[in-house]
């Protein structure tokens, strides 16, 4: 199986953002949007061209497309958890909408704009759902009046946590066509069976895996890809180290808390006996005078 990771943005766009793979992009979009927004055909508004990124290797490698019925789509694979990401997502959506109104056109020509953000991090900490859809609605009645705005947030790490690490676990998790695409983006390295097991055995998945296995980068593309991959590995290492430090800190704090409670228990018994002074109890337990005074006052109030 190819060692290129499709969730690295340049690989993602080279797979989904070219004319000959429009069918893959249409399948991905249709797995995300509602039935009324299903796409039959589309036009790529910024097809992949590596020369666009020679001078700016940090460019946002998004995909812009327009359906035959007029809807505008912006699909972005985002690796890094930028500060104020939610504001940037709104800004990108607003540009998508505003840029339709070129000179000589009126508001009637504005079409629904749908932002699709596939994230390699968690930004929605209050829900376990990995696909969340946002609309602009009236607060009290939930009236959906402004129908031209729609933003999808898809968090890959939530999917992978729920899907497990083996193919057997993954197959149990897959329930929707979006799950199939998320399996490709996050678990392509275990999808090496021929034929693929159901429900992964689809023409789109076969083509996507074949495209990935044949994907080649020139020197410029390879530099961009390696840079993104290096950053991703670095972030993963930092997260792992932070997690391990957090566990060790919690363990140490637990030990210290246990020792403190044990010392307080001994001090209370010694105070109750009235056999020793506060200074002597402090020397035995390691508690300071203020802590012993607090215990003394609490004991006297019992």
Averaged pLDDT score across all residues of the chain: 84
| Rg of the chain, C-alpha, whole Å | 28
Same domain for 285 and 188: no
Q: What domain range is 295 assigned to?
A: 255-300
Clarify whether residues 196 and 266 are in a common domain: no
Tens digits of residue pLDDT in 18-68: 999 999 999 999 999 999 999 999 999 988 876 665 555 445 678 999 999
Q: Which residue has the higher pLDDT, 299 or 171?
A: 171
**How far from the centroid of its chain's Cα atoms is residue 297's Cα?**
52
CA distance 145 to 142: 9
Measured in whole angstroms, the distance separating CA 54 from the mean position of its chain's CA atoms is 27
Sequence-distant (≥ 6) Cβ neighbours of residue 48 within 8 angstroms: 13, 14, 17, 18
Domain presence at residue 147:
yes
Q: Tell whether 68 and 170 lie within a shared domain.
A: yes
Same domain, yes or no: 207 and 259: no
Same-domain status, 172 and 101: yes
- When divided into structural domains, the chain yields a total of 2
What three-state secondary structure class fits 205? helix
Residues 164 and 272 placed together within one structural domain of the fold: no
250 inside domain: no
Question: Does residue 83 fall inside a structural domain?
Answer: yes
pLDDT tens column, 239-260: 555 545 554 555 555 556 677 7
- Three-state SS for 115? strand
Does 248 map to a domain?
no
238 within some domain: no
Say yes or no to pLDDT of 175 above 50: yes
Given a cut of 50, whether residue 7 has pLDDT beyond it is yes
Would 57 be classed as within a structural domain? yes
The per-residue pLDDT for 203 is: 93
Is residue 229, in this structure, part of any structural domain at all? no
State whether 151 and 290 are in the same domain: no
153 and 130 in contact (C-beta within 8 Å)?
no
pLDDT in the model for residue 251: 54
Query: 203-213 and 177-187 are packed helices; what angle lies between their axes, rounded to 10 degrees?
Result: 20
Q: Is the pLDDT of residue 302 over 50?
A: no
- Assign residue 301 a region (left: φ > 0; alpha: ψ between -120 and 50; beta: otherwise): alpha
Residue 25's pLDDT is: 97
pLDDT at 268: 81
CA distance 9 to 115: 16
φ and ψ of 133, to 5 deg? -120, 130
**pLDDT for the residue numbered 243:** 46
Please indicate whether residue 184 or residue 220 has the higher confidence score (pLDDT): 184
Please check whether residues 130 and 64 belong to one and the same domain.
Answer: yes
**Is position 249 within any domain?**
no
Q: Does 147 share its domain with 292?
A: no
> Greater confidence, 232 or 27?
27
Do 116 and 77 form a contact (C-beta atoms < 8 A)?
no
């Amino acid at each position: 199986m190819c060692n290129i990771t499709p969730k690295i943005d340049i690989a993602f766009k080279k797979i989904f953002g070219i004319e000959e793979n429009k069918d893959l992009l249409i399948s991905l979009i249709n797995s995300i949007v509602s039935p009324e927004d299903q796409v039959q055909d589309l036009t790529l508004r910024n097809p992949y061209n590596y020369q666009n990124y020679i001078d700016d290797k940090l460019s946002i490698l998004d995909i812009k497309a327009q359906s035959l019925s007029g809807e505008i789509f912006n699909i972005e694979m985002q690796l890094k958890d930028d500060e104020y990401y939610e504001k940037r997502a709104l800004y990108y959506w607003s540009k998508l909408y505003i840029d339709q109104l070129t000179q000589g056109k009126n508001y009637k020509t504005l079409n629904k704009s749908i932002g699709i953000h596939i994230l390699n991090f968690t930004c929605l900490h209050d829900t376990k759902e990995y696909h969340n859809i946002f609309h602009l609605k009236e607060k009290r009645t939930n009236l959906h009046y402004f129908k031209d705005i729609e933003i999808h947030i898809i968090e890959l790490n939530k999917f992978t946590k729920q899907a497990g690490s083996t193919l057997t676990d993954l197959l149990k998790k897959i329930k929707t066509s979006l799950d199939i695409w998320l399996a490709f983006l996050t678990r392509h390295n275990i999808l090496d069976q021929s034929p693929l097991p159901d429900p992964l055995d689809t023409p789109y998945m076969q083509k996507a895996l074949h495209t990935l296995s044949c994907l080649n980068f020139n020197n410029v593309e390879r530099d961009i890809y390696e840079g993104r991959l290096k950053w991703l590995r670095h972030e993963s290492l930092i997260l792992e180290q932070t997690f391990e430090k957090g566990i060790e800190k919690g363990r140490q704090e637990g030990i210290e808390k246990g020792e403190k409670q044990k010392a307080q228990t001994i001090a209370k018994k010694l105070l109750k006996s009235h056999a020793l002074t506060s200074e002597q109890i402090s020397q035995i337990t390691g508690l300071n005078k203020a802590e012993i005074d607090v215990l003394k006052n609490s004991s006297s109030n019992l």
